[in-house]
Structure 1
């Protein structure tokens, strides 16, 4: 978990028990030590499912 209580992607051992992106169905990937590129300054990056849902609701 990061300082905001959100699960963190890419822990050292990379196993499904510690990397919740491998086991979850999240819409964003959360980073512990860096910002995303889509929304600079925020520690997350949208997953493909996020974009698919956004596109669906735009129409």
Structure 2
């Protein structure tokens, strides 16, 4: 997944999918590790996008 062009909503959907797969026991040990790495990257992406959006909103409200 190209995180530079990933939209917030797409990242959240993918995180939800990963959680569902893990909860349903549909992954083997190697897949769990790979999906956890991907999830960690997606969580960081979401935090970054939310932080930037928050900054932008605060700037607009301060004007």
Which structure dedicates a bigger proportion of its chain to strand? 1
Which structure dedicates a bigger proportion of its chain to helix? 2
Pair member with larger Rg: 2
Larger relative contact order (Cα-Cα within 8 Å, sequence gap ≥ 6): 2
On whether the aligned pair clears a TM of 0.5, the verdict is no
